[in-house]
Structure 1
Amino acid sequence: MAAAKQVIVIGAGIIGASIAWHLTKAGARVTVIADSAAGGVATPNSFAWINASWGNPEPYFRLRTRAMAEWTRLAKDLPGVPLSWCGGLCWDLSAADLETYAEEHSSWGYGIERVDRAAAARIEPNLTELPDFALHVAQEGVAEPVATTKALLADAERHGARILTSTVTALVQSNGRITGVDTSHGLIAADEVVIAAGVGSPDIAATAGVSLPIETPPGLIVHSRPYRKLLNGLVLAERLHMRQTAEGRIIAGSDFGGGDPGVDAEVTARELFAVMKAMLRDSDGLELDFHTVGYRPTPVDGFPVIGRAGGMDGLYVAVTHSGITLAPAVGLFATREILGGERDPLLAPYGLGRFAQ
């Protein structure tokens, strides 16, 4: 019997955690290395919307809907994952654009329902502003990002993975192949290294001469103190996206990725919170707790980078802005490719090599 493959996963955000969990379950010997706590940098600042919503070309839509199905599988395999299919109510586009989105995505099989003002009020009765026309997708949901990441890492560790808090200073090469990493704790050897370090990925890849064209736009999200239930699901209104977390916090951004923090993030946060509070009935006791400014690892064309780095054996890269939606599919597909050489057709457009053309 062949020895279990030794894999280093750099990054403890939701993408790294999912890859580590899937690899461990498949029999690999996994070491997760991160210089931050479980959740990494981007994951704790995520809106955590699981969707295949507007703005997606069909190939990316297919990857996202597959990932949504994989969330259901993951929740069965790892009971206790804080996953909720709460639905999303959307009217942050013009009526014409909403209709175009509904027609296109409905033809692709997305469960979109057109709703009027009365129906929107039944879905979200605590909104002070309601649209004349909106779209509702009952199959959209959320996974509380840090709790999910911690659950994945803890279960991977129970099954033999090693979690190491350290800083990766360089990828180690030998004869044109990545053979491990150099860290603040010393050299660690591996058969394969996975870079899933979000905004830190380009600097790590560069130590082996690999270029990752990634932008890191900031996004501000406000978080209330825990409060009684006001929202049933995701609300994607004009200039304001919000939801209520499992612990009762209402979180919001001017966009689901977070809004521009402006010159003074604290002032922007207070202004955004006031807009959010005004949009909710019976919110007099709702208080701002804190705001976060997350830096989203976003490949320059907006789509994921998932796959082996061309011309560099032993190195796999997984960096994407849509980390929450894609995490279970990326973990599954990356594991199959790393351990068995099988690349899922849904990943075909998303290799790093596309940037060399």
Structure 2
Amino acid sequence: MSAAKQVIVVGAGIIGASVAWHLAKAGANVTVVADSGAGGFATPNSFSWINASWGNPEPYFRLRTRSMAEWTRLAHDVPGIPLEWCGGLCWDLPPAELEAYAVEHSAWGYGIERVDRMGAARIEPNLTKLPDFALHVAEEGVAEPVAATQALLVDAVQRGLRMMGGTAVTALVQTNGRITGVDMSGGRIAADEVVIAAGAGSPAIAATAGLKLPIETPPGLIVHSRPYEKLLNGLVIGDRLHMRQTAEGRIIAGSDFGGADPGMDAAATGRELFAAMKSMLRDADRLELDFHSVGYRPTPIDGFPIIGRAEGLSGLYVAVMHSGITLAPAVGLFAAREILDDARDPLLEPYGLTRFAQ
């Protein structure tokens, strides 16, 4: 490994921050360039559920569970990361599908507990609408997204990282078929490698080098209450509403964890969603809507992450995905190893760009 390798990370969301922190910790000279502050644009609008749930094929499940373990390591290494393993109560599938999911993931080692209505009430006593059958995973959790991103970048700056916020990358610089830096509104920076981790903005940046990133950016609306007394113990993944209570006491919710479809009138949709959320909670008479947010989730067209170097274009690494909160610690660790040591972790094998050429 060359400790003096010059790396530019484009993007200051949770993925960019994790990649940058792991690179700086490993001894690289890292510059983060972002047209936003710490957190980027998608990360602040994240539901922030850390999990390996849902209909994942086993290889993706293994990557997600590895990253859940890496969250514990990262929170130990970086002071100030707000991480809580609060558990998740889920009934967002018909009972037969919920049971099939439980059977499959339990066989893979996921800690799923089946609960009835009374069991659900013990876990979340302030819910007014309880399912007859639900699943509880105690090992699921949350990391407050902006605070976690800021903690990573602050610690990385202490390790020598250079932060250039409020600066847009206008183009990737190519020299003899290799990416050698970035052009910005304020000038040019050279690098041995450039990492694109700019979320929804990644395709436009990659296109300046002739690289197509097959990414969609569906919107997701989440409502945020004013801070309130504690009503929820963990994540609630209901059949029409997903919600949790943040570290500062806000209850946030979407029609799913990615957020609701904002429709033609996001404010009206937000008010309806908040009313539905409030009706699901006991002792919520004084709960007030503070604001709604609409985030655009960078989602590769097949639903799985894009992580790795661009074939035929050396000096460029891509790290773009939905589920950024869950995957950030493992992606940061594995990307840093690959960038500095050319060592690709086997868990990343399915997620290179070459799969879209087939």
Q: TM-score range by the shorter chain?
A: over 0.9
CA contact 2:223–2:252 (8 Å) conserved in 1: yes
Task: Please name the residue that 1:268 is paired with.
Answer: 269
Post-superposition offset of 1:5: 0.2
Summarize the alignment of residues 16-95 of structure 1 with structure 2, pairs less than 5 Å apart.
16-95=16-95
CA contact 2:169–2:205 (8 Å) conserved in 1: yes
Q: Which runs of 5+ in 2 are unaligned?
A: none
1:338–1:95 Cα change, 3 Å: same
Post-superposition offset of 1:55: 1.2
TM-score, with length taken from structure 2? 0.99
Post-superposition offset of 1:79: 2.6
SS at match of 1:69: helix
Task: Please name the residue that 1:320 is paired with.
Answer: 321
What is the alpha-carbon distance in structure 1 between the residues aligned to residue 4 and residue 249 of structure 2? 43
2:334 is aligned with 1:333 = yes
- 1:90-118 deviation per Cα after TM superposition (whole angstroms, max 9, x unaligned): 00100000100000000000000000111
Task: Please name the residue that 2:112 is paired with.
Answer: 112
SS at match of 2:220: strand
Task: Please name the residue that 2:201 is paired with.
Answer: 200
What is the alpha-carbon distance in structure 1 between the residues aligned to residue 82 and residue 8 of structure 2? 27
- 1:228-253 deviation per Cα after TM superposition (whole angstroms, max 9, x unaligned): 00000000001100000000000000
SS at match of 1:99: helix
Task: Please name the residue that 1:155 is paired with.
Answer: 155
What is the alpha-carbon distance in structure 2 between the residues aligned to residue 292 and residue 308 of structure 1? 33
Task: Please name the residue that 1:216 is paired with.
Answer: 217
What is the alpha-carbon distance in structure 2 between the residues aligned to residue 88 and residue 237 of structure 1? 10
* Counterpart AA for 1:78: V
| CA RMSD of superposed structures (Å) | 0.8
CA contact 2:2–2:340 (8 Å) conserved in 1: no
- 1:270-325 deviation per Cα after TM superposition (whole angstroms, max 9, x unaligned): 00000000000000000000000000000000000000000000000000001000
Number of residue pairs matched?
A: 357
Task: Please name the residue that 1:7 is paired with.
Answer: 7
* Counterpart AA for 1:126: N
Post-superposition offset of 1:2: 5.1
Task: Please name the residue that 1:164 is paired with.
Answer: 164
Summarize the alignment of residues 206-285 of structure 1 with structure 2, pairs less than 5 Å apart.
206-285=207-286
What is the alpha-carbon distance in structure 2 between the residues aligned to residue 79 and residue 86 of structure 1? 19
Identity %, equivalent residues:
80
* Moved >4 Å (runs of 4+): none
What is the alpha-carbon distance in structure 2 between the residues aligned to residue 61 and residue 100 of structure 1? 15
SS at match of 1:349: helix
SS at match of 2:130: coil
CA contact 2:2–2:28 (8 Å) conserved in 1: no
What is the alpha-carbon distance in structure 2 between the residues aligned to residue 2 and residue 149 of structure 1? 26
- 1:66-101 deviation per Cα after TM superposition (whole angstroms, max 9, x unaligned): 000000110111132100000000001000001000
Post-superposition offset of 1:3: 5.7
What is the alpha-carbon distance in structure 1 between the residues aligned to residue 256 and residue 119 of structure 2? 24
* Counterpart AA for 1:58: E
* Counterpart AA for 1:211: K
What is the alpha-carbon distance in structure 2 between the residues aligned to residue 4 and residue 63 of structure 1? 29
1:181–1:259 Cα change, 3 Å: same
- 1:177-198 deviation per Cα after TM superposition (whole angstroms, max 9, x unaligned): 0000000110100000000000
* Counterpart AA for 2:250: R
* Counterpart AA for 1:41: F
SS at match of 1:127: coil
* Counterpart AA for 1:171: L
What is the alpha-carbon distance in structure 2 between the residues aligned to residue 20 and residue 242 of structure 1? 30
What is the alpha-carbon distance in structure 2 between the residues aligned to residue 250 and residue 355 of structure 1? 39
What is the alpha-carbon distance in structure 1 between the residues aligned to residue 311 and residue 204 of structure 2? 17
TM-score, with length taken from structure 1? 0.99
Task: Please name the residue that 2:356 is paired with.
Answer: 355
Task: Please name the residue that 1:291 is paired with.
Answer: 292
* Counterpart AA for 2:286: G
Q: Which runs of 5+ in 1 are unaligned?
A: none
What is the alpha-carbon distance in structure 2 between the residues aligned to residue 12 and residue 65 of structure 1? 24
Task: Please name the residue that 1:346 is paired with.
Answer: 347
What is the alpha-carbon distance in structure 2 between the residues aligned to residue 281 and residue 202 of structure 1? 44
